[in-house]
Amino acid sequence: MDNDIVPVALEKAYRLLNLGATSIVSAEFGGESDAMPAAWTCPLSMEPFRAAAVVDGPHFTRRLIDESGMFALQLPTAGIARATLALGSVSKNDDPAKLEKSGAHFFFADGFRLPLVEGCAGWMIFKVVPGEERNAKAHDLIIGECVAAWADARVFANGHWQFEEAPPSLRTLHYVAGQHFYAIGEAVNLD
């Protein structure tokens, strides 16, 4: 793992999602892996840190989540906006070489088999919470409990986002539609 990537304490990891940035969801099962953008995510609780992500049933990634019981959410930055879109523009059901062609680069955290996307601002690995089959079926809502989290220390440290001193390419992406995002902007501090 990159020197800038540092662990995030699980009790502070929900703050990675507070910002409302677009995420990439990734998963692995039986030697197959996939990753796709998911703009629709939501923290559910802080301790334990649980979160929900909408991953539609037909997606290749969804099958890997359902079969492995694990998924990762990671927060792509402006620097990898094009690869992020590429991961959403084709299904691995249609192109088995999707990941290789996307321009995204992957790495692995010790003890986990899920591919993680390089160049993100934060990474979270979740174990699917049992007993939530109805949410998966009715809403395509996958609920997980975070078991490990990391961040790029240049933009997230001591449980807080801090983009001011970092390169603009490390700013999180917030999805509009089509091929359009906004990067996160100026701090609004009221204390």
**Residue 67 Cβ vs a second copy, minimum distance, rounded to whole Å:** 23
**Count of chain residues binding a second copy (CB under 8 A):** 51
Site for a second copy in 120-179 (CB under 8 A): 134-135, 139-141, 143, 159-161, 163, 168, 171, 173-179
Amino acid in position 13? A
HSE toward the beta carbon, residue 172, CA cutoff 13 A: 26
Q: Per CB under 8 A, does 188 bind a second copy?
A: yes
Partner residues linked to 117 by β-bridges:
106
**Residue 123 Cβ vs a second copy, minimum distance, rounded to whole Å:** 17
Give the nearer residue to a second copy in terms of CB position, either 21 or 65: 21
Give the nearer residue to a second copy in terms of CB position, either 109 or 175: 175
CA–CA separation, 129 vs 167, rounded Å? 36
CB 126 within 8 A of CB 116: no
**DSSP code at position 78:** G
Among 69, 82, 113, 147, binds a second copy (CB under 8 A): 82
Q: Per CB under 8 A, does 15 bind a second copy?
A: yes
Q: Which residues touch 149 (CB under 8 Å, ≥6 apart)?
A: 7, 8, 9, 10, 13, 16, 49, 122, 123, 124, 125
Give the nearer residue to a second copy in terms of CB position, either 123 or 156: 156
Give the nearer residue to a second copy in terms of CB position, either 97 or 190: 190
CA–CA separation, 147 vs 149, rounded Å? 7
Site for a second copy in 21-80 (CB under 8 A): 21-22, 39-45, 50, 52, 54, 78
HSE toward the beta carbon, residue 73, CA cutoff 13 A: 30
**Residue 152 Cβ vs a second copy, minimum distance, rounded to whole Å:** 16
CB 73 within 8 A of CB 146: no
* Number of neighbouring beta carbons within 10 Å of residue 106: 15
The contact set with a second copy (CB under 8 A) reads 15, 18-22, 39-45, 50, 52, 54, 78, 81-82, 85, 134-135, 139-141, 143, 159-161, 163, 168, 171, 173-191
